Amino acid sequence: MRTIRVGSRESKLAVIQSELVMEAIREADPAVALELVTMKTTGDKILDRTLDKIGGKGLFVKELDAALLEGRADLTVHSCKDLPMEENPDIPLAGFSRREDPRDVLVLPEGVTELDPNKPIGCSSARRTVQLKELFPHMAVAPVRGNVLTRLRKLDEGQFSALVLAAAGLKRLGLEGRITRYFTVEEMIPAAGQGILALQTRAGEDLTYLKHVLDEAGTLCARAERAFVRRLDGGCSSPIAAHARLEGETIYIQGLYVSEQGMVIRQTISGPKGQAERLAEQLADQSKEAGV
Catalytic residue (choose from 65, 74, 82, 101):
82
Using alpha carbons, select from 158, 169, 199 the residue that is nearest to residue 14: 169
**Type of residue at 188:** M
82 catalytic per annotation? yes
Using alpha carbons, select from 172, 152, 171 the residue that is nearest to residue 162: 152
Using alpha carbons, select from 218, 232, 271 the residue that is nearest to residue 249: 271
Q: Quick one: residue 131, left, alpha or beta (phi over 0 = left, psi -120 to 50 = alpha)?
A: alpha
Query: How many angstroms separate the CA atoms of 165 and 26, rounded?
Result: 30
Residue 39, beta-bridge partner list: 9
Provide Rg for the chain, Cα atoms: 19
By CB neighbour count within 10 A (0-12 exposed, 13-18 middle, 19+ buried), where does 206 fall?
Answer: exposed
**Residues carrying an active site annotation:** 82
